[in-house]
Amino acid sequence: MSITAGDFRAKITSSTLLDRKQHHERITCLTAYDYASARLVDEAGIDMILVGDSLGMVMLGYENTLPVTMAEMLHHTRAVRRGVKRAFLVADMPFASYHVSQREALRNAARFIKDAGAEAVKIEGGEKRARLVARMVEAEIPVVGHIGLTPQSLHAMGGYKIQGKTLAAVEQLMHDALALERAGACCVVLEGIPREVAAMITAELEIPTIGIGAGPDCDGQVLVFHDLLGLTFAPPAKFVRRYADVGTVISNAVLAFKGDVKSQAYPSDEESYHLPKETLAALQSIAQRKRAVQV
Ligand code: KIV
């Protein structure tokens, strides 16, 4: 039986994503940070899995993504790799891993592919990253771009602010997107920009755009796994749709466990292991003999 690009089981590659855009089929993308979540997301048929540096906030409890290290990203990417068979696996390069020099950036990017099994790396920034993207692509490292509200630019942007609101900013975003495409990026994440701007960029680019807080006209959509599931502690951003309240499910399960242990309802006899009948009988007869000797 042949397996085609549209087949649910077929491996997703950067070519599949391009094909999706050409055929006006939406691309689905979610973050994952560990083996279990990666398996669930992959087995649900999501096209692209991103080991986002958002893991610093949702998994590790950092205030923002800036402290995330290469070691942390590699560790989580390896775990996700073990859970993913079909999706296109992308790893985020953390802040300062590609900002210091091209040489260091290339070496770090290669580690995601060679040591952690990622199929592409994602870096934040547009026109100013184009040369680096071209070098990575030349080194056979597929690259996903990321423009608009780029969380690693938190301090430079003066906070998490929607980007691309003025004519000049819209023009810059268009330059950024085109520069990434020309440099060889395989797709570009558009984050936190007006719907109209995302639609214009999407229409202009040949490579797919993946939106997050960028409206419905992008070629695909990405959400953070924990946002989708209601597993975060702060009020969600406007663009987040919570598909489940897993936080409450977990809290209720933990409270029920606590109550059952305190009341001795857990574990029950059925949830316990038992001695084989013969061993139990032997133990009982030893105890009986001991009691007889004492009397
Ligand atoms: O780190 C991340 O999860 C991301 C997505 C929000 C695109 O970069």
Residue 50 lies in a domain: yes
Residue 237 lies in a domain: yes
Domain count, the chain: 1
Residue 71 lies in a domain: yes
* For residues 244-251, average pLDDT: 98
The answer to whether 162 and 237 have CB atoms below 8 angstroms apart is: no
Residue 287 lies in a domain: no
- pLDDT at residue 8 in the model: 60
Query: Which 8-state DSSP code applies to residue 6?
Result: T
What CATH number is given to the structural domain containing 146? Answer: 3.20.20.60
**SS3 (DSSP) at 191:** strand
Residue 265 lies in a domain: no
- pLDDT at residue 9 in the model: 76
Residue 208 lies in a domain: yes
Q: Which residue has the higher pLDDT, 276 or 294?
A: 276
Active site residue 204: no
User: pTM of the predicted model, to two decimals?
Assistant: 0.94
Give the residue, out of 92, 149, 187, 193, with the most ligand 1 atoms within 8 A of its beta carbon, to mutate for a pocket test. Answer: 92
Q: For the chain, what is the mean pLDDT? A: 96
Ligand 1 near 92 CB (within 6 A): yes
Residue 69 lies in a domain: yes
Burial tier of 295 (Cβ tally within 10 Å: 0-12, 13-18, 19+): exposed
The answer to whether 105 and 132 have CB atoms below 8 angstroms apart is: yes
DSSP 14-65: HHHHHHHHHTT--EEEEE--SHHHHHHHHHTT-SEEEE-TTHHHHTT--SSS
Looking from the CA of residue 29, the nearest atom of ligand 1 is 7
pLDDT in tens, 221-244: 999 999 999 999 999 999 999 999
pLDDT in tens, 191-222: 999 999 999 999 999 999 999 999 999 999 99
Query: Which 8-state DSSP code applies to residue 126?
Result: S
- pLDDT at residue 71 in the model: 98
Ligand 1 near 54 CB (within 6 A): yes
Residue 280 lies in a domain: no
Domain range for 31 is: 14-248
- pLDDT at residue 2 in the model: 46
Distance 168 CA to ligand 1 centre (A): 25
Shortest-distance Cα residue to atom 5 of ligand 1: 52
